[in-house]
Structure 1
Amino acid sequence: MTRTDIHGVKIHNVTMREAVRLIQTWVEEESRVPRAVFTPNSEIIMQAQRDPEFKELLNSADLLVPDGAGVILASKILKTPLKEKVSGIDLTKNLFREFAGKNISFYILGAQPGVAEMAAVNLIAEYKKIKIAGYDHGYFKPEEEDDVIQRINSAKPDIVLVGMGAPKQEYWINRNMYRLNCKVLIGIGGSIDVFAGKASLAPEFIRKAGFEWLYRLIKEPRRIKRMMDLPRFLILTLKKRFFRKV
């Protein structure tokens, strides 16, 4: 896989289908060496500008996919176009469809107490033969982490979906992946809330137009401070394109 450098974050240039196939290959391997999948968007890439350790962590992932129209736009501005957007929630849905009815199991970790359970119920109802090995909320105390690890290992899932928000989920995955009895860990941000019906995605035409950020801002005005990273990301990209020394 080739990688595209977006402000030091080296995104794998894959389509959705290629990402699903790669994860399928890892899951079908006999070895249980865990693989990490991260899904950086513009905000996460800007977080990485302020935190070199986080940037290094992102680049250590086995698969780093472009989550968001902003990342795709930046790749085009920089004359290194990525093939397509591969958002975390869409990647996860594609994996559910791919593995429904097969002996491949998921573990859901994250969100507030009770939400992961609601997500599991909804997913089983929607995807019918999908296999959910277990679930846990993401608000456990540090001293409870060993118990969470033990519950995951007892369930023996193939894929662990970690929804704690960035950069917490990426640091958690990086710190614990070799303690876990699984094959793939994926950071999925707020997707668990969506699966549980606690949050909603923007309508498809808004997502395709690249205005999902505006929809989220209208729904959650408190995100305004975080979303200031979006214009900063665009300005940084334009500076890099036209003033290469940035």
Structure 2
Amino acid sequence: MSQADKYLALGGFKLLRTTGNELEQQLQGHLEHGEQTALFFANTNFIVQCQGLQEQMAQSTLIINDGIGVDIGTWLVHRTRFPQNLNGTDFIPAFLHSIQQQGRVYLFGGKPGIALRAAHTLRTEFGVNVVGASDGYSQGQDTQALVNQINNSGANVLLVAMGNPLQERWILQQRANLQVKLLFGVGALLDFLAGDKPRAPDWIRRLRLEWFYRLCLEPARLARRYTLDIGLFLALCLRTGKRTGQYTNSGSSKG
């Protein structure tokens, strides 16, 4: 696959065409070689909310397709599909389990208590070495103190759970100050791991209807995302077409 064929443009972003296994190997390589890399999961909400951040994602950033809405947008623009749907809720715990011998993970975000409960789940169910956790409220107010705490923990992997676009902005603004090598924007993952929000049953996930399950559980919070914002997302996809702006997105400075 040529360099150009490795990506698909959508809504002004360049999304990596890859599988879960290939992505795991790529991230393991970045970790082993000490190459700092940010990873974002592009669902429809990401595409809509993160407009204007493309230039900051030009270097050392991977953007991965997540969800049926992105599949629809990609088909409209490119008449093709991604090889595999990659959502962070499934991918990240599996990836952290795969690097449990070398990974030192810090969790940041969520309501008080969420990150600590998520850390317990990662340790007990996935064998992950969690070296620290901070909530996104009082413990996240002093950014410099938080950055120092993360660096002092010895973490080489950071999960940031603040929702779009706050988590992406935070990572992009702070990554130069952080010693961690892998930085993931994880959305509601910590809520799921903590048991604060339920995952959809397996059969609903197989039908690619988990978005509808979440909408039924949280209609007030998610109604706009799955109605008006879907229209905005499709308009962005059609308006930008195959363009991505004046930048080149790559997984590292080595490409």
What TM-score results when the alignment is normalised by the length of structure 1? 0.87
The answer for the alignment partner of 1:62 in structure 2 is: 61
SS at 2:89's partner residue?
helix
Aligned counterparts of 1:236 and 1:66: Cα–Cα separation in 2: 16
SS at 2:65's partner residue?
coil
SS at 2:132's partner residue?
strand
Structure 2: tracts of 5 or more residues without a match: 242-255
Aligned counterparts of 1:225 and 1:240: Cα–Cα separation in 2: 22
Residues 121-140 of structure 1 deviation map (CA, whole Å, 9 limit, x = unaligned): 1221112x321011111124
What is the count of residue pairs matched by the alignment? 234
SS at 1:199's partner residue?
coil
Residue 61 of structure 1, CA deviation: 5.3
Residues 29-51 of structure 1 deviation map (CA, whole Å, 9 limit, x = unaligned): 1x3x4211111101221224xx4
Residues 145-179 of structure 1 deviation map (CA, whole Å, 9 limit, x = unaligned): 11111110001111100101110000000000011
The answer for the alignment partner of 2:250 in structure 1 is: none
In the alignment, is the contact (CA less than 8 A) between 2:118 and 2:193 conserved in 1?
A: yes
1:108 correspondence with 2:110:
no
Aligned counterparts of 1:207 and 1:97: Cα–Cα separation in 2: 21
Q: Which moved more, 1:170-179 or 1:91-100?
A: 91-100
In the alignment, is the contact (CA less than 8 A) between 1:5 and 1:11 conserved in 2?
A: yes
Residue 116 of structure 1, CA deviation: 0.3
Alignment of 1:32-71 (within 5 A): 33-48=35-50, 51=51, 53-58=52-57, 60=59, 62-71=61-70
Amino acid at match of 1:145: T
The answer for the alignment partner of 2:86 in structure 1 is: 86
The answer for the alignment partner of 1:169 in structure 2 is: 167
Amino acid at match of 1:210: R
Alignment of 1:65-214 (within 5 A): 65-78=64-77, 79-100=79-100, 102-127=101-126, 129-140=127-138, 144-214=142-212
Q: Which moved more, 1:170-179 or 1:232-241?
A: 232-241
The answer for the alignment partner of 1:244 in structure 2 is: none
Aligned counterparts of 2:239 and 2:205: Cα–Cα separation in 1: 26
Residue 200 of structure 1, CA deviation: 1.4
Aligned counterparts of 1:83 and 1:74: Cα–Cα separation in 2: 15
SS at 1:85's partner residue?
coil
What TM-score results when the alignment is normalised by the length of structure 2? 0.84
Aligned counterparts of 1:208 and 1:85: Cα–Cα separation in 2: 11
Q: Equivalent pairs: percent with the same residue?
A: 29
Q: Which moved more, 1:220-229 or 1:180-189?
A: 220-229
SS at 1:157's partner residue?
coil
The answer for the alignment partner of 1:224 in structure 2 is: 223
RMSD (Å), alpha carbons: 2.1
Aligned counterparts of 2:148 and 2:122: Cα–Cα separation in 1: 24
SS at 1:43's partner residue?
helix
Structure 1: tracts of 5 or more residues without a match: 242-246
SS at 1:83's partner residue?
coil
The answer for the alignment partner of 2:18 in structure 1 is: 14
